[in-house]
Amino acid sequence: MFTELDDNGGLAWTRGLSAWVLFHEGYYDEARAMVDELLPEARRRGDPWAEGITLMLKCSIELWSGQATKAWEYSRLAMDAAHKAEDFGLAVQARSLEGRALVSRGRVAEGTAALEQAFGLADKAGDEEARRLAVVANCASAARAGEAERAIRWATRYESFGKDIGVVGGSELVASLALALLQRGSVDEAEYREFATGFPFERTPSSVTAWGNRRPCSPRAYGRTGVTCWRAC
C-alpha cells in the first residue's frame, strides 16, 4: 500500500517493524541486512527518531550475537539520535542498552550505573512502559553478572506491573529470575518459576504431561545466545 502511495516514510516504518520481528524470532542475519538498508534511508530523510530506533535494533542484534563492543558503539549513537529527536522513551531504552553492553564487556560497575540511571529517568517521568523495560534490563544484566540477589530484587519490582510475560521482555525476565535463583542455589524454586510461567503452558494437570515430554526447540532463535528453550512443540 505504501509503495502504491509513494510514501517512503510509511514504507520504511513497515520494513522497520519487519526487521524487529525478524530479530525477535532469531533471524539475526536477515534483520541485520534489513537494518543496513533502513539506517541510511532514515538519515537521508533527516528523521532522528527513525534513526534512533533503527540504531537500537542494530545494537540489540549485535548484543544478542555476542558482539558487545559493537553493541556499545551503536547504543551511544542511538542515544545521540534520541536526544536529537527529543524522545524521552527512546533515550531511556538506549541508555538501558548501553548498560547491558557495558556489563557484557565486563565493565559491570559502569553498566550497572547506566541501567539504574535508565530506570531512575523512567521512574521520575512516570513512564510505566519505560520503567517496565528498564526493570527487565536491570534484572537480566544482574543475572548475567552473577549478582543473584540484585537480579531477584529487580524481578520482584516487575510483579507490580501486572503484565503477562507474553509482552516484550517478559520471558527474559522469567529466564533471568530462574538463572538468579539457580545461582543462589534455589534449584526447586527456579524450576517452579520456569514451569509456572513458561510458554506455552498453563498450570494444569495436562500441562504437567506436556512439561514431562518437553524437548528443545529449533536452535535458530536460541543457538547464538546459548539459551535453550524447552517446550513441547
Residue 130's pLDDT is 85
Tell me: pLDDT of 114 over 70: yes
Tell me: pLDDT of 93 over 70: yes
Q: Residue 174 burial by CB count (10 A; 0-12/13-18/19+): exposed, middle or buried?
A: buried
Q: Residue 97 burial by CB count (10 A; 0-12/13-18/19+): exposed, middle or buried?
A: buried
Question: In the Cβ-directed half-sphere of 145, how many Cα atoms lie within 13 Å?
Answer: 26
pLDDT digits (tens, 9 = 90+) for 187-196: 766 665 554 4
The residue ranking higher by pLDDT, 59 or 204, is 59
pTM: 0.72
Residue 9's pLDDT is 60
Across the range 158-182, mean pLDDT stands at 72
Tell me: pLDDT of 233 over 80: no
Cβ-based neighbour number of residue 224 at 10 Å = 14
The residue ranking higher by pLDDT, 224 or 118, is 118
Per-residue confidence band for 202, with pLDDT thresholds at 50, 70 and 90: very low
Calculate the dihedral angle through the C-alpha atoms of 220, 224, 226, 229, rounding to the nearest 10 degrees: -20
- In 3D, which of 31, 37, 32, 36 has the Cα closest to residue 8? 37
3-state secondary structure of 216: strand
Tell me: pLDDT of 217 over 50: no
C-alpha pair distances (Å), 139 with each of 1, 22, 100, 122, 150: 41, 24, 10, 16, 7
